[in-house]
Amino acid sequence: MLKRALQRLPTISKATAYEYEDDRLRAIAIAQLLPNTPVADGDEALHFEIITRTDTALILLLSGKPTAAEGAIAHFRQQQQLKDVVMSAITV
């Protein structure tokens, strides 16, 4: 449905749908975590970058395979370290 809606926009020349597990897709997520949340790159499918750390929050950029990003977000949520998140899957 989204693909068809995009294709109808006059400024869009082409829209392609990909399976969620497609290697061409990359997820980008910005997560707000508790300030003492431990973060370490350990998976080649996902990269972490600390945007900022304050006394009240850790803002983290995650990028990589959508399933890996979802797994990290789920882990932070399960550990009750996740305060907020926004995520999108894209390809170029």
Which residue segments constitute the domains of the chain, with CATH numbers given? 21-90 (3.30.70)
pLDDT over threshold 80, residue 46: yes
Distance CA 65, CA 69 (A): 6
Q: How many CB atoms lie within 10 A of CB 5?
A: 10
Nearby residues of 37 by Cβ (< 8 Å), 6 or more positions away: 58, 60, 76, 79, 81
Query: How does pLDDT run across 19-37, given as a tens digit for each residue?
Result: 888 888 999 999 999 999 9
User: What letters, b where the CB count within 10 A reaches 16 and e where it falls short, cover 79-88?
Assistant: eebbbebeee
pLDDT in tens, 50-80: 999 999 999 999 999 999 999 999 999 999 9
The pTM assigned to this predicted structure is: 0.78
